[in-house]
Amino acid sequence: MKILVADDSKTMRELLTESLIKFGHDVIVATNGLDALEKFKIDRPDLIILDVIMHGMDGFECAEKIRAYDENDWVPIIFLSGAVDDENIARGINAGGDDYLTKPFSEVTLSAKIKAMQRIVDMRQKLYATTKKLRVLSTIDHLTGINNRLQLEKMIKHKMKRAKKKNHLLALLFIDLDNFKSINDHLGHHIGDLLLKEIANRLKSTIRANDFIARIGGDEFAIILGKIKDIETAGEIAKKILNILTVPFSLDGNDVIITSSIGIATYPFADTELTSLIQSADIAMYHAKASGRNNFQYYTEELHKKHKKMSYLDSSLKFAIERKELFLAYQPIFDLTDRTLVGMETLLRWKHPELGLISPDLFIHIAEENGMIEALGWWVLRTVGEHVKQWDFSSFKEFKLSINISSRQLLHKNLPLLIKNILFDTKLPANALELELTETILMSHTDISENVLKEIHSLGVSISIDDFGTGYSSLVLLKRLPIRALKIDKSFINDVTSNINDAIIVNSVISLGKNLGLTVIAEGIESEEQLNFLVTNGCLRGQGYYLSRPLSFEQMTIFLENISKRVT
Ligand code: C2E
Ligand code: MG
Ligand code: MG
């Protein structure tokens, strides 16, 4: 042990030193309290022997100062004193002492007391080693052995401070793997884990010594680029990473191909006052995902504004139902040959108190992300029910009222029951109701959706595929599922008379529908030319601004009454 001996008597110091050296310890001597305190701070002994009565600073005061200096580190202290009475013992313990040795001391007692203290010292050292190990472990990601999120956050703070002081440019790359979940699902978690480890290795090999790398979530990694010349450099490194990750991995005999999306936030350019650098890079990464994946994007002022608007919409959407900001519009669907009404599509509308009408293309997406979509979907079904009770479709033959259904609703096992209740409640014949589902929904949960769809079909309700042509459909599934109609997406109708490719696509969908015995409905007809093209090529149903814009409940009521008057 390294033992500090403090006594103002030279004889005493020498006696103690001689014995301690004999026992095999190293000794540091101090000639008074102040000297002892200084030597404690510099030499960090394992044990201290303090004379109680010394000039200037006595032993008690010195012990108190030592304890105050480092509260977390308990170095044992033995007081050395001539007279040891009760009061002295109490003072010594209160000052932070652990034991007493009376003067003159016997070597036997000294040796015994030192041994007792040795036990404390050993324990202290073990504790110190464990804490150190824990500190390291808590900063490391166990799977890949690189730093974890905690360490990244610490490092960012530290590097930001330095960058500010030295006027450096700093960049944070947020890397997220594309479709990592499907690798776990198809090849198993073992291969998923191996892939993450290999990715960590590849990333490590791309960066420089003073860059910093961490794994911050399941399939998310982050890199801090220490000192970069300009913002473009960060982009070049991101490009390098994208490339290096697309080289196939060979994992336990499996060839695995993966791409990634990267968001870049730079300091001091990104708005670090409002959002942290990690959050900004994360937002940029989402933008990269939305821009088709396998690419990188910078965090920009524009992105920041968009993000702010989205989170504002996100939070206000949660109150839209109770604040009665939602309403429904209905767009008529016609027989294109004689312009008679054959159905209508229910469209959800949101009138935001400050921002006005928000497009469902925007808020349906938000609702799907934040989980509100189910509540919105049920609200639509209930409200349609209320409206239908006030309408009479009996004079129309083969009339279909259609409702858009989101994937979350389809996955809900209560959907068939809810529809049954609505039919019962409204007396609407089951064959007058149609559910619109997009290709993506149908193809992504085939097993669940097939059962639900069959159950709904058995009620007599029909099903159509919305936005047909924008996703991927399996022809096998198209044949197997109980589908009545295909709706050609309006993006194809848009240029059908001027773009030969669109014309070919529209014609193929029409003949596909005919061959499979499905009704084909065109969306977004805006002109007479488009209408004529469709009729000439055999598409018999359609909707669009040229025929009628979506109508409010009141307008639709009048519209239906007028038709009924004409018919009767
Ligand atoms: P969608 O189901 O394909 O609906 C057709 C969209 O085309 C509607 O847009 C409609 O107003 C618009 N439209 C109709 N005719 C024309 C035209 O001639 N020209 C143009 N440019 N557009 C036309 P809207 O109402 O903005 O709805 C957008 C999308 O939001 C819908 O596309 C649908 O996917 C979704 N959506 C709307 N209501 C609901 C709902 O209640 N539930 C769910 N899950 N999604 C909904
Ligand atoms: Mg639709
Ligand atoms: Mg559509």
Question: Which residue's C-alpha comes closest to atom 19 of ligand 1?
Answer: 524
Distance CA 247, CA 244 (A): 6
CA atoms lying within 13 Å on the CB side of residue 8? 13
- Domains (ranges, CATH) in the chain? 2-137 (3.40.50.2300), 149-299 (3.30.70.270), 332-346+375-567 (3.20.20.450)
Report residue 274's pLDDT band, with 50, 70 and 90 as the boundaries. Answer: very low
Mean local confidence (pLDDT), 95-104: 92
**In contact, 424 and 461? CB cutoff 8 Å:** no
> What pLDDT is attached to residue 272?
58
Q: How many CB atoms lie within 10 A of CB 86?
A: 7
Distance CA 215, CA 311 (A): 26
> Nearest bound ligand to CA 488?
3
Over 90: is that where the pLDDT of 479 sits? no
Over 70: is that where the pLDDT of 527 sits? yes
Q: Is the CB of 365 under 6 A from ligand 1?
A: no
The rounded Å distance from CA 280 to ligand 3 centre is 34
Non-local (6+) Cβ contacts of 358 within 8 A are 313, 350, 351, 352
The single-letter code of the amino acid at 406 is S
The rounded Å distance from CA 151 to ligand 1 centre is 46
Report residue 358's pLDDT band, with 50, 70 and 90 as the boundaries. Answer: very high
> What pLDDT is attached to residue 414?
86
Over 90: is that where the pLDDT of 185 sits? no
> What pLDDT is attached to residue 275?
56
**To the nearest whole number, what is the mean pLDDT of the chain?**
92
Instruction: Render pLDDT for 289-314 as a digit per residue (tens, 0 to 9).
Output: 989 899 999 998 888 888 889 999 99
Over 70: is that where the pLDDT of 568 sits? no
Distance CA 275, CA 342 (A): 52
Selection from 84-88, 97-101, 305-309 with the highest mean pLDDT: 97-101
Q: Ligand 1, from 490, 541, 556: best to mutate by most atoms within 8 Å of Cβ?
A: 490
Instruction: Render pLDDT for 20-56 as a digit per residue (tens, 0 to 9).
Output: 999 999 999 999 999 999 999 999 999 999 999 998 8
Question: Which residue's C-alpha comes closest to atom 32 of ligand 1?
Answer: 361
Question: Which residue's C-alpha comes closest to atom 15 of ligand 1?
Answer: 544
User: Which residues have CB atoms below 5 A from the ion given as ligand 2?
Assistant: 404, 436, 466
Q: Is the CB of 530 under 6 A from ligand 1?
A: no
Ligand 1: atom nearest CA of 438 is 34
The rounded Å distance from CA 142 to ligand 1 centre is 48
> What pLDDT is attached to residue 193?
96
Question: Which residue's C-alpha comes closest to atom 27 of ligand 1?
Answer: 360
Q: What is the Cα Rg of the chain in Å?
A: 38
Instruction: Render pLDDT for 386-413 as a digit per residue (tens, 0 to 9).
Output: 999 999 888 888 899 999 998 888 888 8
Q: Is the CB of 471 under 6 A from ligand 1?
A: no
Instruction: Render pLDDT for 207-228 as a digit per residue (tens, 0 to 9).
Output: 998 899 999 999 999 999 988 9
Over 90: is that where the pLDDT of 317 sits? yes
Q: Is the CB of 327 under 6 A from ligand 1?
A: no
The rounded Å distance from CA 32 to ligand 2 centre is 90
Sole residue written with tokens 């599509």: 345
The rounded Å distance from CA 467 to ligand 1 centre is 10
> What pLDDT is attached to residue 270?
63
Distance CA 30, CA 33 (A): 8
| Helices 277-290 & 149-166 angle (0-180, nearest 10) | 110
Tell me which H or E stretch contains 140: none
